[in-house]
Structure 1
Amino acid sequence: MTELLHLTERSLWNEAVRAGSYEQSTRGRTLAEEGFIHCSTREQLPAVAEFLYGEGKGPHGELVVLVIDGDKLTAPVRHEEAAPGGPVYPHIYGPVPTEAVVALESWPPAP
């Protein structure tokens, strides 16, 4: 399994479950607006969480981490620099079918 992680709000994930696919890009931006879904590796996740949600929760509540099996995606995944010379992050160029999400983890993680 190729593990990709995406931090989101539980309410947005619940909407995706009802719709059958997840189409949020990052905090406050959709796949349609951004062109891809921002993801990270497990090592990158704490810094991403701090950058996007420093206070530990989203504007609409509880945060969760979608653990995505990249092998179950039909959309392409590209590993790209966020800025020239910066870290490389995985980006999913299409919707994530809910069945590609193999686990849901709380954020921040329990001590």
Structure 2
Amino acid sequence: MSRIFHVATAADWEAARSSGSYTTSTYGVTLEEEGFLHASHAHQWEDVLARYHADCAEPLVLLEIETDLLGVDVVEEAVSGTGEAYPHVYGALDPAAVVGVRPVTAPSRRAGS
């Protein structure tokens, strides 16, 4: 078993729970546009939150995804300029593969920022 993480808007996650399919690659970009869903490892998601969601005014959630439940390919790929590899999910995310959801706050929206 392996766990990966994805930062999502609460609205996108709720829509996925209703439709049975999550297809947002990253904030404002669809799976169809990008070709895969961006994900991260446990030690990477906070940096992703700060880098890509800092100005997001919408409520955000962190999805904890069990890769064994996905049914689509997950590929570790180097991301230019980061020196790190990130998991990319090549297909729609079945909400049943999400084993945990918790609210997170973009850094610019935290108290005192």
Unaligned runs of at least 5 residues, structure 1: none
| Cα distance, 1:85–1:11 mapped onto 2, change above 3 Å | closer
Q: Percent identity?
A: 35
Matched, 1:2 2:10: no
How much does 1:84 deviate? 6.5
- What TM-score does the superposition give when structure 2 sets the normalisation length? 0.88
* Deviation at residue 42 of structure 1 after TM alignment: 1.2
Structure 2 segments unaligned to the other structure (5+ residues): 107-113
> 1-side partners of 2:21 and 2:8: how far apart?
14
Task: With the length of structure 1 as denominator, give the TM-score of the two structures.
Answer: 0.89
| Cα separation, 2, equivalents of 1:81 and 1:17 | 30
In structure 2, the partner of 1:75 is 72
SS in 1 for 2:15: helix
| 1:45-88 CA distance string (max 9 Å, x none) | 11111101124xx34x1000011100001110000011167210
CA drift of 1:90 comes to 0.3
Letter in 2 for 1:92: V
RMSD over equivalenced CA pairs, Å? 1.6
Inter-partner Cα distance in structure 1 for 2:12 and 2:82: 32
* Cross-structure match for 1:51: 51
In 2: Cα distance, 1:63 partner to 1:71 partner: 24
**Aligned partners of 2:90 and 2:50: how far apart in 1?**
24
Give the aligned length. 106
What is the 5 A alignment of 1:1-111?
Answer: 1-55=1-55, 58-59=56-57, 61-83=58-80, 86-108=83-105
